Chains A and B, each alone.
Chain A
Amino acid sequence: QLQLQESGPGLVKPSETLSLTCSVSGGSISSTSYYWGWIRQPPGKGLEWIGSIYSSGNTYYTPSLKSRVTISVDTSKNQFSLKLSSVTAADTAVYYCARHWRYSGYDYFDYWGQGILVTVSS
Chain B
Amino acid sequence: QSVLTQPPSASGTPGQRVTISCSGSSSNIGSNTVNWYQQLPGTAPKLLIYNNNQRPSGVPDRFSGSKSGTSASLAISGLQSEDEADYYCAAWDDSLNGSVVFGGGTKLTVL
Binding site for A on B (CB under 8 A): 2, 32-33, 35, 37, 43-47, 50-51, 56, 88, 90-92, 96-105
The 3 closest A-B pairs by CB, nearest first: A49-B100, A108-B35, A108-B50
Docked CA distance A63–B43 (Å): 27
Docked CA distance A113–B43 (Å): 10
CB proximity of A82 to chain B, nearest CB, Å:
15
CB proximity of A91 to chain B, nearest CB, Å:
17
**How many residue pairs between the two chains, A and B, have CB atoms under 8 Å in the bound complex?**
68
Inter-chain contact B33/A110, CB cutoff 8 Å: no
List chain A residues, Cβ under 8 A from B56.
Answer: 110
Binding site for B on A (CB under 8 A): 37, 39, 46-49, 52, 60-63, 96, 100-102, 105-110, 112-115
CB proximity of A59 to chain B, nearest CB, Å:
10
CB proximity of B80 to chain A, nearest CB, Å:
22
Docked CA distance A69–B90 (Å): 21
List chain A residues, Cβ under 8 A from B105.
Answer: 46-47
Using known A-B contacts A49-B100, A60-B97, determine if residue A110 contacts B50 with beta carbons closer than 8 Å. yes
CB proximity of A96 to chain B, nearest CB, Å:
6
